Chain A
Amino acid sequence: MLTITARRRAQLAILLGPASLFLAVFFLGPLAIMIVTSFLAPGLYGGVEWTWYPHNYGRILGFADPMFEEFDPVYIAIFLRSLKIAALTVVATLLVCYPAAFCISRLSDRWKSFCLFLITLPFFASLIVRLFVWVLLLRQTGLVNNVLLQTGIIDRPVDLIYTEGAIILGMVYVFIPFMFMPVYASVEKLDWTLVRASLDLGAGPIRTFLRIILPLTAPGIAGGAVIVFIPALGNFVVPAILGGAKVMMLGNLIEQQFLAARNWPFGSALAMMVMSVMLVLLFSYVVVSSRRGLDAAPGR
């Protein structure tokens, strides 16, 4: 005879089984392979050699294998640039989405759903196609330069594409819906009588924003920041198309190590570094948001 708890456990196991199995085989498996690979030596003609070799990380962090490779700060520079671009993408998408969320949340239901539809509209077209349109707009003979030349604002084409600015622009363009949804969800939920109460109690608009509106919409902002920052950090499509060979990000570097340089161990080490940054971020997000939840629970 099964007890009730045992039966519930069996039910849970059945329900969670397929998802767990899928993740174990297709996520944890490759992840384990990558972890192992990142500590192996690269083979001379690609592939790996089964010897303990921590210097893949050394190349990035400063203890390279003196026999073959040198420590090169370029990897840290790419790392920092990627962090910077991802952070700027978060800030820029937030600056676009936060005010927009307030406007849309105050519209009538019909206009609301229409606007939400517009925001999801880009998903219907291929990402690559949409990014190549930016190439057409930004290149030396592109629309923007042409207009600026014709109107006489500039007398020779300016470099718009293959810059950090172009990458950030593309990133913002790609990630706006990801920022908008969580931000909008928390703005929509905001109780405007609380804003009134704050004004009524003598707090001006700025203080009301800082003390009431911002803290109450903070979960949405934090959620949006995490959802944008993580894929932006490892993104390789946008820098590949809009950054060209000039501005490289982590995603391109990793891709290059795996496909062009055929140095799988070093590529794996880079990927593990990116992942550890993301894990730290996600973990602190979970800790902070669950602590907030505990704090709000009854009978503390």
Chain B
Amino acid sequence: MRESIVRMEKAAKTFATPEGQTITALGGIDLDVRRNEFLTLLGPSGCGKTTLLQAISGFVELDSGRILIDGEDMTDRPPYRRPVNTVFQNYALFPHMSVGENTGYALEVAGIGRQDRARRVAEALRMVGLEGLEGRKPRQLSGGQQQRVALARAIIARPKLLLLDEPLSALDKNLRQAMQIELKTLQHELGISFIFVTHDQQEALTMSDRVAVLSGGRIQQLDTPRAIYDKPRNSFVATFVGASNLFEGEAAAGRLVTTDGIAISHGEQGSTGAATALIRPEQFFLADPGQAGPILDVDLEQIVFVGSTFELFGRTATGRRVIAEIPAMRRGLVGEIEQSRRARLSYDPSAVHLIPAEAA
């Protein structure tokens, strides 16, 4: 395991709402961020991800616990003495300064001479694809360009860690996807750790080395994107990341039976007892007539064409909702089931993931 660049130990923070309630933003979080890692904090709004980020940048003071950056205790250090820079959600570019002055601000503050600064500003702007725009004012730039200036400004002083607070949420979809790839490339070039906050699970899966899924001020799971998606540790993670079909029931060797009597085959021989089986929509396929093996019969309520796939929304005989995703190239078969309003869904038992009940 690589050395950690950020270590949080039992970090806790509660807020009082104006209505007199207390909200646990951080419920005693332990976290290690590795060197050169792209870590994403993923969760719904109010899950504590922004508080966690601000605790690292120094804008939120912890109630208890510690934060170490590169082995140094940062817990009581103000933001301006931490080797960390942030890309803010709304870019936060200084409107009264030019692009060049914005980009060079951290160097100016650090007392680096004019010539050196100009050279490094040019280099940083080149890295984000904005060479030669030093003289412009922020409001003369497009949203995407402002985003890049914010990025250049945050990396120019070579922080040990770059924090990104939902930086792509204001961009349109195409630009956002392009920036996702660029951010990933930039992180490799710079060789520093990125901590990226988002509520967009697609973004988290696309960009990250590891994803921390947060809810209620706690890390629900910290894992690679694939493990998060394929082997969620609890049903919150399973439902928050990707679409899911969950079947709670009693597991025995190779089989799980729900309370309403649906039997799901699975490949995890060792697991017994109360558990939840997870089948992702794309793991279903339409069974050929007379096909043997595990089958789920559903009555279809809706069939939605989304381009590359058809989404089938159905219910089992006992009324349980099921979502399946069928590749669009099988449109012939889809035509048939559209007629009958019934579908026989088959799946591979070895792909079914069991979540033990105590974790769910």
Give residues in A with beta carbon < 8 Å to B: 191, 193-194, 196-205, 207-208, 211-212, 215-216, 295-296, 298-300
Given contacts A199-B59, A204-B80, A296-B95, 17 further A-B contacts (CB under 8 A): A194-B94, A196-B79, A196-B92, A197-B86, A197-B92, A197-B93, A198-B94, A199-B58, A200-B57, A200-B59, A201-B85, A201-B105, A202-B157, A203-B109, A296-B137, A296-B139, A298-B140
A203–B92 CB distance below 8 A: no
Given contacts A197-B88, A204-B80, contact A295 B137 (CB under 8 A): yes
Residue of A nearest to B90 (CB): A193
Residue from the set B86, B96, B139 with the largest chain A CB neighbour count within 10 Å: B96
B95–A200 CB distance below 8 A: no
Q: What are 21 A-B pairs with beta-carbon distances under 8 A?
A: A194-B94, A196-B59, A197-B86, A197-B92, A198-B94, A198-B105, A199-B58, A199-B78, A199-B80, A200-B59, A200-B85, A201-B80, A201-B85, A202-B80, A202-B106, A202-B110, A202-B157, A203-B80, A208-B80, A216-B96, A298-B139
Task: Report B-chain residues with C-beta under 8 Å of the C-beta of A211.
Answer: 105
Q: For the complex, give the distance between the alpha carbons of A282 and B84 in Å.
A: 45
Residue from the set A198, A201, A212, A215 with the largest chain B CB neighbour count within 10 Å: A201
Given contacts A201-B157, A202-B157, A296-B137, contact A194 B92 (CB under 8 A): yes
Shortest beta-carbon contacts, A-B, top 5 = A197-B92, A201-B106, A193-B92, A203-B109, A199-B79
B140–A201 CB distance below 8 A: no
Per the 8 Å Cβ criterion, residues 115-160 of B in contact with A are: 137, 139-140, 153-154, 157
**Shortest beta-carbon distance from A152 to chain B in Å:** 47
A200–B137 CB distance below 8 A: no
Q: For the complex, give the distance between the alpha carbons of A211 and B79 in Å.
A: 17
Identify which of B80, B93, B95 contacts A216 (C-beta below 8 A).
Answer: B95
Task: Report B-chain residues with C-beta under 8 Å of the C-beta of A205.
Answer: 80
Interface string of B69-112 (1 = CB under 8 A from A): 00000000011110011101010111110000000011001100
**Shortest beta-carbon distance from A290 to chain B in Å:** 16
B96–A300 CB distance below 8 A: no
A207–B94 CB distance below 8 A: no
Task: Report B-chain residues with C-beta under 8 Å of the C-beta of A208.
Answer: 80
Residue of A nearest to B163 (CB): A200
Task: Report A-chain residues with C-beta under 8 Å of the C-beta of B154.
Answer: 201
Per the 8 Å Cβ criterion, residues 29-58 of B in contact with A are: 57-58
**Shortest beta-carbon distance from B147 to chain A in Å:** 14
Residue of B nearest to A191 (CB): B92
Q: For the complex, give the distance between the alpha carbons of A212 and B105 in Å.
A: 11
Given contacts A196-B79, A298-B140, A300-B137, contact A201 B96 (CB under 8 A): no
Q: For the complex, give the distance between the alpha carbons of A201 and B162 in Å.
A: 11
**Shortest beta-carbon distance from A210 to chain B in Å:** 11
Interface size class of B (residues with CB under 8 A): 20 to 34
Q: For the complex, give the distance between the alpha carbons of A295 and B106 in Å.
A: 24
Q: For the complex, give the distance between the alpha carbons of A200 and B157 in Å.
A: 11
**Shortest beta-carbon distance from B74 to chain A in Å:** 13
Q: For the complex, give the distance between the alpha carbons of A22 and B84 in Å.
A: 62
**Shortest beta-carbon distance from A218 to chain B in Å:** 9
Task: Report B-chain residues with C-beta under 8 Å of the C-beta of A300.
Answer: 137, 140
B79–A200 CB distance below 8 A: yes
Q: For the complex, give the distance between the alpha carbons of A296 and B137 in Å.
A: 7
**Shortest beta-carbon distance from B192 to chain A in Å:** 15
**Shortest beta-carbon distance from B83 to chain A in Å:** 9
Q: For the complex, give the distance between the alpha carbons of A211 and B90 in Å.
A: 20
Given contacts A196-B59, A216-B95, contact A203 B105 (CB under 8 A): yes
Task: Report A-chain residues with C-beta under 8 Å of the C-beta of B153.
Answer: 201
Task: Report B-chain residues with C-beta under 8 Å of the C-beta of A215.
Answer: 96
Q: For the complex, give the distance between the alpha carbons of A199 and B57 in Å.
A: 10
Q: For the complex, give the distance between the alpha carbons of A196 and B86 in Å.
A: 10
Q: For the complex, give the distance between the alpha carbons of A193 and B89 in Å.
A: 10
Residue from the set A193, A202, A295 with the largest chain B CB neighbour count within 10 Å: A202
Residue of B nearest to A193 (CB): B92
**Shortest beta-carbon distance from A137 to chain B in Å:** 40
Q: For the complex, give the distance between the alpha carbons of A194 and B157 in Å.
A: 18
B80–A200 CB distance below 8 A: yes
Task: Report B-chain residues with C-beta under 8 Å of the C-beta of A207.
Answer: 109
Q: For the complex, give the distance between the alpha carbons of A202 and B106 in Å.
A: 6
Residue from the set A197, A198, A212, A300 with the largest chain B CB neighbour count within 10 Å: A197
Q: For the complex, give the distance between the alpha carbons of A200 and B164 in Å.
A: 12
Q: For the complex, give the distance between the alpha carbons of A98 and B110 in Å.
A: 29
Residue of B nearest to A203 (CB): B109
Q: For the complex, give the distance between the alpha carbons of A295 and B78 in Å.
A: 34
Q: For the complex, give the distance between the alpha carbons of A196 and B58 in Å.
A: 10
**Shortest beta-carbon distance from A254 to chain B in Å:** 41
Task: Report A-chain residues with C-beta under 8 Å of the C-beta of B95.
Answer: 194, 216, 296
Task: Report A-chain residues with C-beta under 8 Å of the C-beta of B94.
Answer: 194, 197-198, 212
Given contacts A191-B92, A216-B96, contact A201 B109 (CB under 8 A): yes
Residue of A nearest to B106 (CB): A201
Q: For the complex, give the distance between the alpha carbons of A198 and B106 in Å.
A: 8
Q: For the complex, give the distance between the alpha carbons of A201 and B150 in Å.
A: 11
Q: For the complex, give the distance between the alpha carbons of A299 and B135 in Å.
A: 12
Identify which of A191, A193, A202, A216 contacts B109 (C-beta below 8 A).
Answer: A202
Residue of A nearest to B165 (CB): A193
A299–B140 CB distance below 8 A: yes
Residue from the set B79, B86, B95 with the largest chain A CB neighbour count within 10 Å: B79
Task: Report A-chain residues with C-beta under 8 Å of the C-beta of B85.
Answer: 200-201
Residue of B nearest to A108 (CB): B18
B88–A193 CB distance below 8 A: yes
Task: Report A-chain residues with C-beta under 8 Å of the C-beta of B90.
Answer: 193
Task: Report A-chain residues with C-beta under 8 Å of the C-beta of B88.
Answer: 193, 196-197
Task: Report B-chain residues with C-beta under 8 Å of the C-beta of A298.
Answer: 139-140
Q: For the complex, give the distance between the alpha carbons of A56 and B110 in Å.
A: 59
Q: For the complex, give the distance between the alpha carbons of A212 and B58 in Å.
A: 19
**Shortest beta-carbon distance from B314 to chain A in Å:** 47
**Shortest beta-carbon distance from B81 to chain A in Å:** 8
Q: For the complex, give the distance between the alpha carbons of A197 and B138 in Å.
A: 15
